Amino acid sequence: MGLKEKLHSFKVKNKDKKWLPAFSALHTFLFMPNETTHGGTHIKAADDLKRTMNTVILALVPCLIFGMFNAGYQHYLALGEIESAKGFLGASFWTIDNLMVGIWQVLPLVVVSYGVGLAVEFIFAIIKGHEVEEGYLVTGMLVPLIVPVDIPLWMLAVAVVFGVVIGKEVFGGTGMNILNPALTIRAFLFFAYPTWMSGDKVWVHGAVERDQMIAEGANLDAISGETILGAYAQNNSVVYDYWDMFWGLIPGSVGETSKFLIIIGALFLIFSKVGSWRIIISTLIGALVMGLIFNGVVDAGWIGESSKFYGLMSVPFWQHLIIGSILFGAVYMATDPVTASQTNKGKWIYGFLIGFISIMIRVFNPAYPEGVFLAILLMNVFAPTIDHYVVQGNVKKRMKRLKVKTA
């Protein structure tokens, strides 16, 4: 008898034990179920929850690896120890020193995210006596990618507990939640610990050390550590060119800066039919429309350069897609199949409103120029309402056609 058969036999013998859901979760994660369908009519497909979650994780891995390199690169660049990479394949970016700093800073975030989140999932499974679902596999990977690299681990642990309990378990677990758990975690961090989630000191590892060097007379004025959105919100000049923004050679959350890798991940999710292309495209359209409206306001002269809103209003509408997290949110957050709209027409409406509201928050709240996460959480709440009215509208159209045929 092999290991798989022994574990299955152990599972059967202890089927009445309280701790069995925790054991079953590990057993299911490591092995394929050994029960197969026989006879009758069954839908046979290769996809299940575990494969779906693993597909999303595969799409996120390039962003994670890039984020590790970028953490080290931004650290050494801010300290003046290396020169700018000048492109995605720059020699000063893909170095072992950058990677080691990134691993040292980013890997603990991943460990804490998965360790604390899965512990909460297991506790609830044991208490409530239900199976542990694989839903947190993606959340556990998303969380380290949407936070600053230097966030204290204990803050992250507290936020993960809050996000898993309030964002998912109180609704009944995976598949029942109305809020995206990863976004719930980020929202908790922003409102509970705002000084660790905004400003120009949190996005580059070792920013405090850099300030001490400046105080001692070091000439390190070239790189501020401030994000592009933060600079625009303060009407400051931006030192990064468009290619830096696209490739991701800029300060920001761990995995959100490289738009190139996010696009590659989007294509992979769409090709594997895990991510909804309707939501992704409509979100980007909504962002572009709102950006065009603000550009029109500036061009019409309705707002002057002295206004606190001028910086972000004057950003070219297309540039909104390569700064901040709008693209990351559209691909990996808005497409969450549990919290997003389910109808095809509803997906277009849902995504468009996310993009539209994201840019609106970005411009009108300079203290929080990255509004995509709040916009997605807001639309998570309204997604069932959107689907309801889409379905009701379809029912009314069919009833009209029925009346015409019977008339």
Spatial separation of the C-alpha atoms in residues 348 and 281, rounded to whole Å: 8
| Residue 7 confidence (pLDDT) | 47
Q: Return the pLDDT at 3.
A: 46
Among the listed ranges 3-12, 242-251, 266-275, 392-401, which one has the minimum average pLDDT value? 3-12
Give the whole-angstrom CA distance, residue 121 versus residue 151: 23
Above pLDDT 70, what percent of the chain? Answer: 81
Tell me the whole-structure pTM to 2 decimals.
0.86
Indicate if the pLDDT at residue 193 is higher than 60: yes
Question: 82: pLDDT confidence band, cut at 50, 70 and 90?
Answer: confident
CA distances (Å), origin 215, targets 23, 74, 236: 55, 20, 22
pLDDT in tens, 228-273: 888 887 777 788 889 999 999 999 899 999 999 999 999 999 999 8
Distance set, CA 119 to CA 113, 188, 315 (Å):
10, 19, 44
When mean pLDDT is compared across 143-157, 208-222, 364-378, the lowest value belongs to 208-222
Determine if residue 37 is left, alpha or beta; phi over 0 gives left, psi from -120 to 50 gives alpha, anything else beta. beta
Residue 79 identity (one-letter amino acid): L
Cβ partners under 8 Å of residue 156, min gap 6: 109, 112, 113, 116, 143, 147, 189
Percent of residues, the chain, with pLDDT higher than 90: 46
400 has a pLDDT exceeding 50:
yes
Model confidence pLDDT, tens digit, residues 45-55: 656 666 788 89
The yes-or-no verdict on residue 222 having pLDDT over 50 is no
Write down the pLDDT at residue 97. Answer: 92
